[in-house]
Amino acid sequence: MLIIDKEFKSHIRPLTDTEKNLLAESIIKEGCRDPIVIWKNIIIDGHHRYEICSKLGLPYKVIENKDKQLVSREDVLDWIDKNQLGKRNLSKEDYDNRMGRLYNSEKKKHGGQGGHRWQQAKVIQVDGNQLPVEISTVVSEPESTATIFAKRFGVSEYTIKQNAIYAESIDKIAKNLGDDIRTKILYSEGHLSKIDVVFISEQSPEIQKQVFTNDDIISIKTNINRIKVEEEVEQIRQRNVSFLLEQKEKQERVVPIVDTRTLEELPCRYVPGMIDNSNLKKCPCGCGYLYDIDTDTWTKT
């Protein structure tokens, strides 16, 4: 009995109803021509063929992927992404997602630096034969992982890095909401924009659940817009609160000094030419006193 790994299966492009029917008709007429590929008895390619053959009781071939580089689950996921990139009918979003996933994986392995490494030997001539006397490792000038991938896929480094952020955002959402969410993000009619996907990934798991409460893409986009508006309103509220607190703090710091001395008792006694300021008279000598006509008091500003 073959094993279906939910995470591995979530990285396989889903078939439309029409595609499923056509594949089933082909298998019924011609048999299952392509084998089911497994790794440690887990299916890594051929999920749809296996499902149809099992349902109809039809025979199928199985081959083990014996690639020695497939050591971990991460290696298998890389293999699945590379294999899927070579197939038809990938959506633009899914193609960019897999490109970004492979870049993130490669960068994680090599720290963002490429370059080639080989061994070089110094030799001497002995009786007409060349004998190595010293072996050293030579490393070429490294290229960044983004540069290597840009050349491989024929796009700019900026595009590679943007797709990497997009892929990482999908992985974050899938970690919180389950692997099935990948299909909803990448293959729902009226796809979510990359900006929206990144925005959702930055929200809490609770808010992410609210976004995907309904299956239809219109409801999902409506939820996203509502959350964006709520977030903007909260930011405005926070700014207003900060402003009010700042003003209050300033008022608390500036305590007016009230001088109850009369005009005759004022040190500068500068009366002529007082500057009119409503009911206050500002002393032009620069002493900083204001004379309040109503209360007959001087206030130090």
pLDDT by position in tens, the chain (length 301): 899 999 999 999 999 899 999 999 999 999 999 999 999 999 999 999 999 999 999 999 999 998 888 999 999 999 999 999 988 788 899 999 999 999 999 988 876 555 544 444 555 555 555 554 455 554 445 678 899 999 999 999 999 999 999 999 999 999 999 988 998 888 877 778 899 899 999 999 999 998 888 877 788 888 888 888 888 877 787 777 777 777 777 766 665 555 565 655 655 544 544 445 555 666 666 666 776 666 767 676 6
Question: Residue 101 domain-assigned?
Answer: no
Chosen domain end from 71, 89, 107: 89
Nearest C-alpha neighbor of 301 from the set 283, 288, 291? 288
Q: Please state, in angstroms and rounded to a whole number, the distance separating the CA atoms of residues 104 and 164.
A: 6
Identify the helix (H) or strand (E) that includes residue 121: strand 117-126
Chosen domain end from 68, 89, 110: 89
Question: Residue 207 domain-assigned?
Answer: no
Chosen domain end from 66, 89, 112: 89
Fill in the DSSP letter of residue 271: -
The CA R_g of the chain, rounded to the nearest whole Å, is: 36
Question: Residue 236 domain-assigned?
Answer: no
Question: Residue 83 domain-assigned?
Answer: yes
Nearest C-alpha neighbor of 76 from the set 59, 64, 87? 64
Question: Residue 136 domain-assigned?
Answer: no
Question: Residue 281 domain-assigned?
Answer: yes
Q: Using an 8 Å Cβ cutoff, are 211 and 227 in contact?
A: yes
Q: What angle do CA 238, 241, 246 make, to 5 degrees?
A: 125
**Count of residues making up the chain:** 301
pTM exceeding 0.85: no
Q: Is 127 exposed, middle or buried (0-12, 13-18, 19+ CB in 10 A)?
A: exposed
Domain extent, residue 82, equals 1-89
Question: Residue 1 domain-assigned?
Answer: yes
The total domain count for the chain is 2
Question: Residue 245 domain-assigned?
Answer: no
